Chain A
Amino acid sequence: MSTALLEDTKLGSTAGRLYRRQNALTGLAVGVGLAVLGWFISLNTVQSNENFGTDMTVAVTMACWVIGFNIGIGTFNAVFAWVLGHDQSREDELYGAGVGQGRSRYFKYCTDHKVVGTQYLILVFVLFFVGGTLAMMIRTQLLTPNSSFLSPQTYNAVVSIHGMCMIIATIIMVSGPFANFIMPIMIGAKDMAFPRLNAMSFWVVVSAVPPLLATFFVGGVNAGWTTYAPLSVQDGPAMICFAITIITFVVSVTVAGINTLITVLTMRAKGMTFTRMPIFVWASVIGGGLGLYAMPAFLLAMTLMVADKATGTSFFVADQGGSGWLWENVFWIMGHPEVYVILIPPVGALMEVLSTFSRKPVFAYKMIIGAMTGVAGLSIMVWAHHMFTTGWAPDLAGPFMLTTELISIPTGIIFLAAIGTLWRGSNWVRLPMYFGFLFIWNFIVGGVTGIYLSDVPADNYFHGNMFVTAHFHYTLLGGAMIAGTAGLCYWFPKVTGRMLDERVGRWAFWLIAIGFQVTYLAQFYEGFKGMPRRVANYDPVFQPENLVSSIGAYVLMAGWVVLLYALVSSWRNGAIAPANPWSAKSLEWHTQTPVPLENFLEDPLVINDPYGYGGVASEQIHAVFGAHGHHGANEGDHA
């Protein structure tokens, strides 16, 4: 290769300026310092208000933490520099991209999209570990009808934070690591459109995590992850921490969504037309766009909540002119699209897996894109199906039932496309494919049970019971998270430069697959029998199913732990991965591993779609590189 690697560039001692002195520790120090200062000032000014003082103090403290952490890590450096008219030099930019910093760049405000993607991946692991541990506490409590493992209040707090921790983790589990690390390479870009905003989106979400965990130390959130008003308004100051987490998270998702869309719109390689884009890129765009629609509602809901609690406004307090229905509407205007913000990117990742390992083009490519768009469009018109049993607007129950049931059509198209891709393919059943098969099963169970819940009479019975719990775990855990895991196993060699230990990975797969079915099929049965959800104690008539469900949950957790072990051990000591271990066609597999800064030593020219597998099409090349037009489409072919 004639071009020097940017990583080898020697930078001057002043490159990066203030960023040189900033890292996660300075973020922590400034964050804690500002939080203490905010707490002290607030304590001496507004604490005297007996009704709202504590909530206001907590709000100020948590807001100061978030702002302080981001000042300390460097989120606002570029803003201040821009205002003062100081633009970054090329050396500053290279320093910002991590040149010459080794592993320390993973603890800094690094603008390289691959570093940001890796940072997201670690954060997702941490969040899933926290959320999973809380899930085990829930299942342990429910082993017996009158367990005293957790007090009812602690149980509520654990359920609430388990829910929100998992929601945050699943929203970013694919859009964070893979839409950052992989997607720009897939479209032939050298980075995201706004590298600094990219780093910002990560560090902002990091700053959102401590307030969420802090809820346990200030009384716990008792209102569930949906934090329905007026229960949440009457809750303690933990609710403020919870809301600050969400408000901060919204900023991150919004910035990330805009960045994803603009990257795809403006930075595609030559020849990368919309119909040549990999499905995963489409999924990232649709998911990111839907996030932009959903997040303002989340922001409004949580801001109004903070206002009600900390300043005494009455948006949700009925005796002062507010309404719990306002909360439910605004929350679910966000809430249902958010399900597809979670689901669509992993499904896109899964389609890449199915196509690569069945050695067939994605079946009905354009139909899938249309179906994903249809799902996104319909998802903004279904929110009130979450409110069938609340008494809000009964006349609208029929129309919302219809729109909800309509959404099963594009969802079904995606499902059929997945089956069609596998159909008569030369299926190469590696670990990603295992998870792909599991997704297909889980997705159909989750989808079909969703139709029951969209039906008003059936929902009246199922809504408040464990059937709903089982349904959305089949959808989000069994669907989105399993598809995301397929993507993780697929892209692991590219991200880490190591091959994933398949033998241990398959042990993990079987534990996860079996544990998951046992856990949630038992919960469906509990639902049929009428066991209410969100209860710390239950009637002994439900004990057999709960026992089975808890045992299944332990097996499931064991599976995730084994998978985590496989990931960590392979990352440290796994076999060195070739550039293209799967003989895949898309661009990320046709650059070096580890991927160089700015991704390609020679610019790609895309000449075909990335799914030229099978038959005559197997000779089809997705892209050529550099001025000589040579290609690497079959580099690193498996035997």
Chain B
Amino acid sequence: MTDLANKTHDAHEGGHHDTPEQRDRKELSALILFIAGDALFVVLEVLAWFYLRALNPNDGWRFSTATAESPALSGSNNPHDITAIVEQAPQSWAIAVAAATLAIGLIAWAGEARARSGKSFAPLLMLSAVVSVVAMVVQVLQFQNLPFQTTDGAYASCVEFFMASNLAHLLIVFVVMLGVAIRANKGLYASNWYQIRLARIWSLWVGISAVVLTSVTILFV
């Protein structure tokens, strides 16, 4: 039975079974398109930030004029009134998340370089998977250490949405890096390592997007 399957495959070389080079070409092209779409999403996120910040309807960006005597959101369905300007999110947490996210891509890059030069690279890929977990943990801690609630106006909304989108990015990075690390440990990248390059490109993009979003939250409050 298997013989017959192989015979028919020989007659249809290049069908469902591609060479690593063909798969590299296809998957790299697909990844570029996916990143382009994802980049558009990030750009629109940033546009939403600047739009709401500039428009500032009802002083709702950070409620800079809110006081205990004249609280914001009084009468709305918000669970609590706001009695002072919404505090800025701590920069240290934001920078830590961005740095950890960027580090994943850089470690993967180092792993890819070692693979290219024929050196051991599996530990570095496992390290990048571990760092992606660390980055997610730090991201969750950042959520817990915000000085505002989700309902505290447009600035708070944007910051938390940026964080959530980065967390989603990190989840995908974790799955990808875990996959390449396990496969590297199994020796599946002995003859070709194009998937490591793809994983590196994706994780680097996620790192760049984290830096961009973090920069916006720090520089344009």
Contact = CB atoms under 8 A, between A and B. Distances in A.
Given A323-B55, A598-B15, A12 B178 contact: no
Interface residues of A, number: 63
A594 to B, nearest CB: 17
A320 B78 contact: yes
Interface stretch (A21-29, A292-300, A371-379, A542-550): A292-300
A313 to B, nearest CB: 4
B29 A266 contact: yes
B25 to A, nearest CB: 6
Contacts of A195: 16
Given A85-B183, A258-B34, A304-B161, A319 B154 contact: no
B210 to A, nearest CB: 17
Interface in B38-75: 38, 40-41, 44-45, 48, 51-52, 55-61, 63, 73
Contact of A266 (B26, B44, B156): B26
Interface in A265-300: 265-266, 292-293, 295-297, 299-300
A83 B48 contact: no
A90 B44 contact: no
B94 to A, nearest CB: 18
B33 to A, nearest CB: 5
Contact of A94 (B5, B37, B153, B178): B5
A94 B1 CA distance: 12
Contacts of B150: 311-313
A314 B153 contact: yes
Given A97-B16, A191-B15, A296-B44, A322 B154 contact: yes
Contacts of B183: 82, 85
Interface residues of B, number: 63
B155 A321 contact: yes
A437 B153 CA distance: 55
Contacts, number: 181
Contact of B52 (A85, A254, A323): A323
A565 interface: no
Most chain A beta-carbon contacts within 10 A, residue among B2, B14, B15, B175? B15
A83 B174 CA distance: 10
Contacts of B114: none
Nearest to A600: B12
A304 B4 CA distance: 53
B184 to A, nearest CB: 9
A87 B20 CA distance: 13
Contact of A265 (B29, B78, B153): B29
Contact of A318 (B8, B60, B161): B60
A320 B73 contact: yes
A93 B8 CA distance: 13
Contact of B33 (A51, A111, A261): A261
A300 B55 contact: no
A396 interface: no
Contact of B14 (A87, A190, A261): A190
21 contacts: A4-B11, A12-B2, A79-B175, A82-B179, A90-B6, A94-B16, A193-B30, A195-B16, A296-B40, A311-B150, A312-B78, A313-B157, A315-B158, A319-B73, A320-B76, A321-B52, A321-B58, A321-B63, A322-B52, A322-B57, A330-B44
Interface of B: 1-2, 4-9, 11-12, 14-17, 22, 25-26, 29-30, 33-34, 36-38, 40-41, 44-45, 48, 51-52, 55-61, 63, 73, 76-79, 150-151, 153-158, 160-161, 164, 175, 178-179, 182-183, 185-186, 188
Interface of A: 3-6, 9-12, 49, 51, 79, 82-85, 87, 90-91, 93-94, 97, 111, 190-191, 193-195, 254, 257-259, 261-262, 265-266, 292-293, 295-297, 299-300, 303-304, 307-308, 311-315, 318-323, 325-326, 329-330, 333, 598
